[in-house]
Amino acid sequence: MNFEELLAFAGRNPFLSIVFVGLTIAIVYTEIARLFRGFAGIKPAELTRLMNADNAVVVDLSAGADFEKGHIAGSRNVQVAQFGPEHKSVAEAKQKPVVLVCRTGNSTAAAKQLKKAGFEKVYVLEGGIPAWQQAELPLVKGRA
């Protein structure tokens, strides 16, 4: 397909062309924003490596009842409303990896708070607890 054929297609299908351009812009914007957000998203396998090799601090931002139903072994439960860089669960961990986990997408805002406060290694578990379960990794029930 050459450029002339592409222009002819766009002329015959203006709606599809606008949708294509819009989606392309949205994808590019999302990827650029991801590069500059200051923290990284990680997969469950990478979280297990960080926990085992680097003694990562894992903070679960789920509601207390959800945390008791199942959480990652060794994680600390902190309610979103009470979480911040000064919270006792992370205050001493500025040089350690800190991984935020949730079920509802609250991790991103919390990660931004930590980066702004000077934490060096901040991560968010992509997909949260559901991704952990999908990877067939175990959850612990009850309070930590």
Residue boundaries of the structural domains of the chain:
3-35, 40-134
SS3 for 38-107, per residue? CCEEECHHHHHHHHHHHCCEEEECCCHHHHHHCECCCCEECCHHHCCCCCCCCCCCCCCEEEEECCCCCH
The pTM of the full predicted model, rounded to 2 decimals, is 0.74
Distance between CA atoms of residues 98 and 43, nearest Å: 14
Question: Can you tell me the distance from the alpha carbon of 86 to that of 82, in angstroms, rounded to the nearest whole number?
Answer: 10
Per CATH, the number for 40-134 is: 3.40.250.10
CA angle 80, 72, 49 (to 5 degrees): 110
pLDDT at 36 (0 to 100): 67
Give the residue ranges of the chain where pLDDT is below 50: none
Confidence at residue 117, expressed as pLDDT on a 0 to 100 scale: 85
In this predicted structure, what is the pLDDT of residue 90?
77
pLDDT for residue 35: 65
- Looking at residue 144, its pLDDT comes to 56
What's residue 143's pLDDT? 73
